[in-house]
Amino acid sequence: MAAGGTMTDAGDGFDIRIERLVAGGEGLGFHESRAVFVPLAAPGDLVRVRPNPGAKRGASFIKAELVELLEPGPGRTAPACPLFGTCGGCDLMHLSREAELEAKRGILAESFARIGKLAPPEVEVFYGQALGYRNRMRLRRSADGRAALTRRRGNEAVPLETCPVASPELRAWIEERARHRDMRADREFGSDESGGAPETVLVAIPGAGRGRGRAGAAASAASMGTTVFGAEGRTWVGGVDAEAEASVAGKTFRFDPAGFFQSNLELFSLLAPLATGALADAVPARGRAVELYGGVGVFGAFLADSFDSVVSVEGDPRAAPFASSKLGPRGVACRASAEDWVRGAEARESVDAILVDPPRSGLSPAVRAWLAASTARALSYVSCDPATLARDSGELSRAGWRLARLALFDFYPGTRHLESWALLVRS
């Protein structure tokens, strides 16, 4: 018996006990002292697995597929969707709510210890409903006109009759297309080029649409998909509707549905006032605040309630025009990338507080250098990747910042994705 559980060789397969989930949502076990990563596994499971094709016996770790569940772990439950395991949209729906939150909390804390080299404060956990929460999805079209997601392995469409994680508005939109299947929605699929949530996006198939006229172009567009947003009794489709509207903690925001907007309004309505309110509380003199990667100005609008002046910086041409209308007389929207802005003259002016909400890649070296040298007393960091949040927090801590608070926001129940938030203050 090697570390991590019972292991019995069975041809090219073997049995292991899953110890915990790791970043990416895979279960971690051990075989002959080598780490084994298994999707769709749960902590405590005893599973029979088979290494993925091409796995090298001498490799330091093994990627494997679950072949048989021999003994379920205490946190395993029946998935709420019959397509679980086939559809690529959800990969943690087999966990109880408690087990999922504990796994994600552990992933966030472990990222700070391993990557950031920091001992984080106790992780605060914020969560909402596990089903019917998702206001924004990137969908493709199946051959018979239904809305579809992409198979967990491969590029094949998985047609949807419904979707239990979709908001009531999105679910009704999906179900209507399942009932009719008359291809009438051709214009609604593939009509935008937005970068939807990664678990629902299919990249264009190389060569699709080339040399095959309108039919080929339509097939290529359908494979790319489109973004649909649903809230407050209606839906908006990227590339069809010019503007969508959503309410966040009592404030109404307009945005291009083909652009980015958070997918869980319930949790966003908790995060926005917390991330901005904690920043205001940490700064005695509420003078000038700067928001980088500002999007349509959601956080900036809340900052304007507390600070004398706010600069919201955003480079996306689909988002930046919407920000200025929400900042009020105290705010200024600047259309520029964060990297360009921190190199400019305005960035050299005194600033009291900073809020950042970067993409998965986290803060660029230029932005981290500016933060290290800034006069700000507090930094509110909203993140969609715990690894880059941990990396950036570790580097900033070595430049004089101190990690004061750390929170998990479970924006995407049933999936491996998590949002997190950190408050850093000057030591």
Active site residues: 384
Q: Which amino acid is at 398?
A: R
Cα 358 to Cα 205, 294, 389, 420, distances in angstroms: 28, 9, 10, 12
* DSSP code string of 339-365: HHHHTSSGGGS--SEEEE---TT---H
Locate tokens 């690894």: which residue?
A: 387
Bridge partners of residue 244, in order along the sequence: 255
Cα separation, 32 vs 67, whole angstroms: 19
160 HSE (CA, 13 A, CB side)? 29
Closest to 397 in 3D by CA, of 367, 372, 362, 369: 372
Two tokens at 239?
Answer: 């590339």
| Four-residue CA torsion sign, 275, 301, 231, 218 | negative
- The structure tokens listed for 78 are 């029946």
CA-CA distance, 191 to 370, in Å (whole number)? 38
* Helix count and strand count (H, E) for the chain: 9, 22
Would the CA dihedral through 199, 205, 206, 211 be positive or negative?
Answer: negative
Are the C-beta atoms of residues 92 and 77 closer than 8 Å to each other? no
| C-alpha separations of 12 from 31, 56, 64, 65, 264 in Å | 12, 12, 11, 12, 42
From CA 192, how far away is CA 93, in angstroms rounded?
29
Rounded (10°) CA dihedral 212, 216, 217, 220: -140
Residue with tokens 């080299």: 117
Helix extents (H) in 253-319: 265-282, 298-303
